[in-house]
Structure 1
Amino acid sequence: MRSVNRRARRLVPAALVLGVLPLGVVAGAGPVQPTYVADASVAREPVAAPPAPVPVVAAVSGPDAVAGIVTRVVPPVGTGVFTVVPGSTSAPVPGVVRTVRVEVEDGLPIDPAAFARFVMRTLNDPRGWGRDATFTRTVGEAEIVVRLAGPDTTARLCAPIDTGGPLSCRSGPDAVVNHQRWVEGHPDYRGDLTGYRRYVVNHEVGHLLGLGHVECPGIGAPAPVMQQQSLGLLGCAPNPWPYPG
């Protein structure tokens, strides 16, 4: 009898433990999740959509980096605020001196200093307007202002001209270069992004120098720099220079 009682005493605590398991817990298993029944009459807070993934774009190099491009991302909406690229350059050769100020819209994935260098090298190239004048960069008052702007800001600055998204323009004393075209170029230039960028700078600055649009002179001829090459070459060959010879 004594041994039986001892066995009974050992069994009682185990039974008690089983009797007080928390509600919803099964011995040997984890907690059972409660089930809820949807009630259409109960208003619920709207669930916010997850944020859009941020594009991962590899940094560029070579000619693109020379032109100031950091990535292939083209933000459609910029800040609308422009920052003057710091620094200045002296006139490379004697002659008629024209002052240039370069500005970049804040928030664009661009190296402003590299963009400014590209602009000045293009303008002072002897195949370009540098044959007739010498261009010097300043942060102060300038005869010519070259602005790099996002597509939406370009559209606002160029109104009432319809840029259609990627086009650049002359706006008052400013040559407004569209960042979208700066990154993507134009298919008629057959992948020559550097050539197309030179064309955009020379074309818009040409307007500031008092020049208007001209037509393609003939099939296969180099397109004049003041032809609207961004709208199509119309049989001409791509050409970024005022004096290509």
Structure 2
Amino acid sequence: MTTPAEPSRPRASAAVRRRRTLAVLVVVAVAAGLAWWLVGPTDDGSGPALQPSTSTSAAPATATPTAIVSPTSKPTAEPTSEPTSTAVATRGTGTLVTVPGEVSAPGSGPRTTVRVRVEQGVDVDPQDFARQVMATLNDPRSWGHGGRRTFARTDGAADVDVVLASPATSARMCLPLQTFGKLSCRSGKQAVLTSYRWIRGTPEFPELSVYRQYVVNHEVGHVLGHGHEQCPGPGRLAPVMQQQTKMVAPCRPNAWPFP
């Protein structure tokens, strides 16, 4: 006996197929947006690199010659302030400019010269940054403690270069270390500080001014030959060479080699 043929299924109309295709595309787009949100840059420097801005790409980092001038005021430390959530530009121009001026070494001991350079386009006053750097290094609790050394600022060749650069430029200068523009580093005789932390600070330090003293002493300490140290025990002051930007606990924050 002949079996009746199965009725054929009607094909979906063109309009129905278009609606199905559009629905699939919407689902894919939503999933992609969720994935970006989940794996985007993190504040501790452990995530992907900062997204580049649409501005012109940075030029090679080179210093611009500047004339020597005499400072008009003594170095002073920055007033105490809390860490901020201020937005930080991803990149500057890529050009490092030497902060003009010379400051004599105020203490006794071997003289160490320091040149301060700031990237153009970074939203920080260069002279103010230089004053904070030198006030920190010549504090009795810093590396000159007890006449071990004294620091003089120059705008010529120096023993130590302290550089403040944008996240994009500092990340490039720190290679092969991966800083993601959020961590500072030593590169040769350069203490490279990222503007991301200089402006924003870190939750590990309740006071921005203390964090700035720490990061200057820490990175210059590397240039002077000091390596990383570990927290000696719960509740104790962290060694200045501990990586306190990442984590202070179980120690307490400390900005100084000789507190």
Q: Structure 2 length normalisation: TM-score?
A: 0.66
Verify: 1:169 aligned to 2:179, yes or no. no
The equivalent of 2:215 in structure 1 is 200
Secondary structure, counterpart of 2:245 in structure 1 = helix
State the one-letter code of the partner of 1:158. C
Query: Residue by residue, what CA displacement relative to the aligned partner does 1:100-125 show, whole Å, maximum 9, x if unpaired?
Result: 00000001111100100000000000
Greater C-alpha Rg: 1
State the one-letter code of the partner of 1:113. Q
**Matching of residues 61-100 of structure 1 within 5 Å:** 72-100=86-114
Verify: 1:210 aligned to 2:225, yes or no. yes
Q: Gaps (5+ residues) in structure 2?
A: 1-53, 55-76
State the one-letter code of the partner of 1:189. F
The equivalent of 2:151 in structure 1 is 135
Q: Percentage identity across aligned positions?
A: 53
Q: Gaps (5+ residues) in structure 1?
A: 1-51, 53-62
Secondary structure, counterpart of 1:103 in structure 2 = strand
Q: Determine which structure has greater relative contact order: mean sequence separation of CA pairs < 8 Å that are 6+ residues apart, divided by chain length.
A: 2
**Matching of residues 17-36 of structure 1 within 5 Å:** none
Verify: 1:123 aligned to 2:123, yes or no. no
State the one-letter code of the partner of 1:146. V
State the one-letter code of the partner of 1:236. C
Is the contact made by 2:80 and 2:210 (CA closer than 8 Å) also made in structure 1? no
Deviation at 1:167, TM superposition (A): 0.4
Is the contact made by 1:66 and 1:118 (CA closer than 8 Å) also made in structure 2? no
State the one-letter code of the partner of 1:129. W
Number of residues of Structure 1 aligned to a counterpart in Structure 2: 179
The equivalent of 2:115 in structure 1 is 101
Change (3 A) 1:148 1:98: same
What is the rounded CA distance, in whole Å, between the counterparts of 1:102 and 1:225 in structure 2?
Answer: 21
Verify: 1:180 aligned to 2:193, yes or no. no
What is the rounded CA distance, in whole Å, between the counterparts of 2:109 and 2:230 in structure 1?
Answer: 30
Secondary structure, counterpart of 1:182 in structure 2 = helix
What is the rounded CA distance, in whole Å, between the counterparts of 1:170 and 1:188 in structure 2?
Answer: 21
Q: Structure 1 length normalisation: TM-score?
A: 0.70
Deviation at 1:79, TM superposition (A): 1.1
Change (3 A) 1:78 1:90: same
The equivalent of 1:5 in structure 2 is none
Deviation at 1:93, TM superposition (A): 1.7
Deviation at 1:95, TM superposition (A): 1.6
State the Cα RMSD in Å.
2.0
What is the rounded CA distance, in whole Å, between the counterparts of 2:91 and 2:142 in structure 1?
Answer: 32
Deviation at 1:66, TM superposition (A): 9.2
Deviation at 1:222, TM superposition (A): 0.3
Deviation at 1:65, TM superposition (A): 7.7
